[in-house]
A = this chain, B = another copy of it.
């Protein structure tokens, strides 16, 4: 037999992860502030009915995630609020419309922020991405990737780490949502791709002119167009999106 069959079937999640997640929730439920001391490893061990080794591994996980800081002989201390990580799970099932609304606000600001300080290299990079988008009309596989690159490259042009982080976070939110995949599948079939390509061009033109308000408007209009597309699609896909798409009266 030449074919090596699939071994290693999906494994149950490692215990230390479950414990780590439980500890996160405990912290989130409590009134603990950043800098406060956590219960000791031994306390958690008894609480969860496992050995200290496992709790220690869970602590290492939280330490890698920069949620806590561990000090020998002293204890472990809350370094960052777990809310920043905890809410992300909850946020993974926000509606596409709600997410687009937020992106419209924030990304247009980011575009305006980038315009005055964007470098020649950044502009070239955006042009390159645009070329790729123009070329691969059929190769839709990477269309989403290029789209992401375009938006995030603008964020990077602001040279502000926080804005890059925020934009990345917003963009990745849709990955957790199966609804987006359906949308993308639909959209690929249509001519909306051309519309968005033109939108991207307009944004780039404003960035080249170092026109902050122009860039803001262009980005705003771009995402507005995406919203409109979404709106139209929701007509034909009504059963799927019903009660899900329009959670927000906003806009």
Q: Are B117 and A109 in contact (CB under 8 A)?
A: no
> How many copies of the polypeptide does the oligomer hold?
2
Q: Are A159 and B105 in contact (CB under 8 A)?
A: no
Q: When the two chains form the complex, which single residue of B70, B79, B109 contacts A92, counting CB atoms closer than 8 Å?
A: B79
Q: Are A160 and B102 in contact (CB under 8 A)?
A: yes
| A61 close to chain B: CB less than 8 A | yes
Interface string of A57-78 (1 = CB under 8 A from B): 1001101111000111010010
Measured between beta carbons, the chain B residues less than 8 angstroms from A164 are 88
| A25 close to chain B: CB less than 8 A | no
| A234 close to chain B: CB less than 8 A | no
| A94 close to chain B: CB less than 8 A | yes
Residues in A72-122 with C-beta less than 8 Å from chain B? 72, 74, 77, 79-81, 83-84, 87-92, 94, 98-99, 101-103, 105-106, 108-110, 112-113, 117
Q: Are B110 and A105 in contact (CB under 8 A)?
A: yes
- Extra contacts, 5 of them, besides A56-B57, A87-B165, A166-B170 (Cβ < 8 A), are A57-B57, A60-B60, A80-B92, A101-B113, A158-B250
28 A-B pairs with CB atoms under 8 Å apart are A11-B72, A14-B70, A34-B175, A57-B57, A60-B60, A64-B64, A66-B90, A80-B175, A84-B169, A84-B173, A88-B164, A89-B161, A94-B161, A101-B113, A102-B162, A102-B166, A105-B106, A105-B109, A105-B110, A105-B113, A108-B109, A109-B109, A117-B250, A158-B250, A159-B248, A160-B248, A162-B173, A169-B169
